[in-house]
Amino acid sequence: MRLQSIELAGFKSFAKKTTLEFSSAITSIVGPNGSGKSNIAESFRFVLGEQSMKSMRGKRGEDMIWNGSSALPRGNRASVKLVFDNSDRALSLDFDEVALERVVNRDGSNEYLLNGSQVRLRDIAELLTGANIGSSGHHIISQGEADRILSASSRERREMIEDALGLTAYLYKREEAERKLEKTAENIKEVEGLRRELIPHLKFLTSQVKKIEESQALRETLSELYAEYLKRESTYLRLAEAVLREEKESPTRELLNLNNKIEHLRQSLDKKGKTNLETHQLIDLEAKGRALRASRDEITRELGRIEGELSAREYLNREASGTIPAKEAHAFAQKIEQELSLVMTLEGDTLRERLQSLIMHARAFAERLVASLEKKDSTHSVEELRARKQELEQKLKDISSEEERVAQMVHKLQSEIEGEKEANREAERELFAAMAERSGVESMLASLRAREDVLHHEKENYKLELGEAGAILLRDATRFEDYVVHAQDGSLLSDAEMFEEERSKQEERRRKLERTKIRLEEVGAGNSEEILKEHRETTERDQFLLKELEDLAVSTEKLHQLIEELTATLETRFDSGIEKINKEFDSFFKLMFGGGSASLTLLKEKKLKRAALAEGEGSDDDDEEEVEVEEGIDITVSLPHKRVKGLHMLSGGERALTSIALIFAMSLVNPPPFLILDETDAALDEANSRRYGDMIANLAKKSQLILITHNRETMSRAGVLYGVTVGQDGASKLLSVKFEEALAVAK
């Protein structure tokens, strides 16, 4: 890479556009004091991104702009452009020519351009660092700054040498890695904090999901139980209804015939005038007996309904809350009434089992009664129901007594009539026989009606179960019709086999259904869809955070490895560079002073560092240990024929020669593309100027040199001379001066 030119426009004293071409290995810039020569060195600092206005002899950005004169108005902007030949791609851009430009405006704003495109200062710095160029440092030594490397602290001196060795890029990378490592640690803490906040809620949601899963399993079980129960019940009711219909057909027809026969016999006896008072009384008593039986059946059914509702009301008075609507409570009351009606027709073990089932069903239902029914109204209803129950029980008792009395009267009349020997006895006997037969048929039909009531009750229960199944399972429960019932051996059960099964087994299935429903209600699940959605989203969020932690852990490990690698590279290159600089420094020092020696020494400082403690051990001041840490660089010199060993003992001229020797040594070990020396030779005598010139000639083999000087010897080493002067308008101007003329100006 070669520096081609620099262009100044409105920068400090260069009011008009001024271009310097660098076609030679050494370019000298000469001119009287105050002409603006040093502004050229500062323009290099400016365009390379220097942010310190003080180092460019200014306070604000607008101090870099031409401030005007009596002949030329002040400018609004200043710009400096550097152009490089990048054929060797030393700058990591795919261009043969690279132009860097910086513009400052009156408002203090800056613009950075790379081949005409606006970029960030950071982009410029990274590009230049890769080519061993910085905004300030060892390759731009302004007037009065040559001594800076000697007067700097050991730590600052180390930084200058690191910059000279081209280690800045590695240092930037390590610092960037360390910043990323700190940021990664902060991110890990943040993500871990988010997970800590998330985990309790996730645990709660997980427990809710388990309930939902248990609820779903119970629903599946309930669905299967309902399907078999409803299929069997539907089949049983259909076939039982058909059988009952068939059994009623013959007695009904027979009763109709008997009624016709009895009516005919009565009419026949009336026509013959052979009926007597006893016969009429017997007929009336027989009719009255039938009416009493009908009344008794009606009162029994109503009493059963009252007792069922009374049980529900009394339970409601004991409970303060419920979980079902009043409509369902009324439906339950009807169900109890039907159950009680059925119970009245049963006896023995069947009665006991039915009562146990009724009690279990009532207890399960009562646990879900609503609290909306006021206790006061229930108490009032209970009193009314109790009064009505007592009234019905008394009526039932009275009817039973009346039935017994009528039966005794019928028996007495039948005995009296049996003893008579009238002529119409045969017709009356036939009438009485028909009436007796009719009583038997009516008794049979009453039994069938009782079975019909039971069947009706079972059908109502079936409808209730069907509705409840649909409400609980939230789907059409009639689909059970497609359910196929299997026997224990796996074979299909026919309708007849299901019908002939003992009803106690179906009752056991119903009880199992109730237990499963109670269990389902106990489990509960809330809004399962919302919970499942939230659990899924929360789980995904937790997995995402966990993945983030894993990625951050991997990033942390990689950053640690990168920092270790960069540190190792820096140490290796720094140690190697120091060794090379020492060699050149000593050589240049001997050349400048005609002997003696000079070297750079690494300073190490002992610091306390807490030793690692074994697990479980407490802290103790004795656990601290001293370790050596590299801090900076010291300079040791020994002048020939003198006992001078320290920098503080050097004279001004000796310090200048020492700093020049060190700067040249640093530049020779890791040559920058160009080196700017602003009157660093001002304090040299004629002999040292020749030595200085020799060093310049040697250094120019590796770096382009731009020398701002008054020294004749220095100028003689240049291939191109630029003269700077101040015109009548007060602005700096660049003059083309031949070498011979440059010598005259220098005098």
pLDDT digits (tens, 9 = 90+) for 4-50: 999 999 999 999 999 999 988 999 999 998 898 889 988 998 999 88
Give residue 586's pLDDT band: very low, low, confident or very high (50, 70, 90): very high
Q: Which residue has the tokens 């009296």?
A: 416
Around 746, how many Cα atoms within 13 Å sit in the side-chain half-sphere? 23
pLDDT of 241 higher than 60: yes
* Burial (0-12, 13-18, 19+ Cβ within 10 Å), 220: exposed
pLDDT of 302 higher than 70: yes
pLDDT of residue 376: 47
**Maximum mean pLDDT: which of 265-269, 459-463, 609-613:** 459-463
- Contact between 67 and 26 (Cβ < 8 Å): no
By mean pLDDT, which of 51-65, 137-151, 414-428, 706-720 is the weakest?
414-428
How far apart are the two ends of the chain, measured CA to CA in Å?
35
Question: Could you give the C-alpha distances from 430 to 264, 266, 407, 434, 738, in angstroms and in order?
Answer: 11, 10, 20, 6, 169
DSSP helix/strand/coil, 145 = coil
Give me 740's structure tokens. 């011979």
Instruction: Measure the CA–CA gap between 407 and 293, rounded to whole angstroms.
Output: 12
pLDDT of 528 higher than 90: no
Mean pLDDT value across residues 514-529 = 77
pLDDT of 613 higher than 50: no
pLDDT of residue 622: 53
Give residue 614's pLDDT band: very low, low, confident or very high (50, 70, 90): very low
Instruction: Measure the CA–CA gap between 424 and 405, rounded to whole angstroms.
Output: 28
DSSP helix/strand/coil, 722 = strand
pLDDT of 555 higher than 90: yes
pLDDT of residue 255: 87
pLDDT of residue 648: 76
**291 backbone dihedrals φ, ψ, rounded to 5°:** -65, -40
Q: Which residues contact 539 (CB under 8 A, 6 or more apart)?
A: 202
Instruction: Measure the CA–CA gap between 324 and 373, rounded to whole angstroms.
Output: 11
DSSP helix/strand/coil, 102 = strand
Q: Which residues contact 700 (CB under 8 A, 6 or more apart)?
A: 25, 26, 717
pLDDT of 499 higher than 90: no
Mean pLDDT value across residues 509-537 = 81
Mean pLDDT value across residues 465-493 = 77
pLDDT of residue 184: 93
Mean pLDDT score across all residues of the chain: 81
DSSP helix/strand/coil, 98 = strand
pLDDT of residue 79: 96
- Contact between 275 and 420 (Cβ < 8 Å): no
pLDDT of residue 183: 94
The DSSP code for 372 is: -
Mean pLDDT value across residues 543-551 = 92
Percent of the chain surpassing pLDDT 70: 80
More confidently predicted of 101 and 144: 101
Mean pLDDT value across residues 364-382 = 55
Give residue 290's pLDDT band: very low, low, confident or very high (50, 70, 90): confident
DSSP helix/strand/coil, 656 = helix
pLDDT of 571 higher than 80: yes
pLDDT of residue 461: 86
Burial 480-492 (b: 16+ CB within 10 A, else e): beebeeeeeeeee
pLDDT of 421 higher than 50: no
**Maximum mean pLDDT: which of 101-105, 338-342, 612-616, 739-743:** 101-105
pLDDT of 318 higher than 60: no
Residue ranges covered by each domain of the chain = 1-139+672-747, 250-478
Residue 77's H or E segment, with its range, is: strand 77-85
pLDDT of residue 136: 47
What is the chain's alpha carbon radius of gyration, rounded to the nearest angstrom?
Answer: 59
Give residue 115's pLDDT band: very low, low, confident or very high (50, 70, 90): very high
Annotation: CATH topology of 1-139+672-747: Rossmann fold (3.40.50)
- Contact between 481 and 231 (Cβ < 8 Å): yes
Q: What is the pLDDT of residues 645-704, one digit of tens each?
A: 677 778 777 888 888 888 888 888 888 889 999 888 887 888 888 888 888 888 898 889
Task: Give me the helices (H) in 143-167, please.
Answer: 148-151, 154-164
Q: How many CB atoms lie within 10 A of CB 91?
A: 19
pLDDT of 168 higher than 60: yes
pLDDT of residue 322: 44
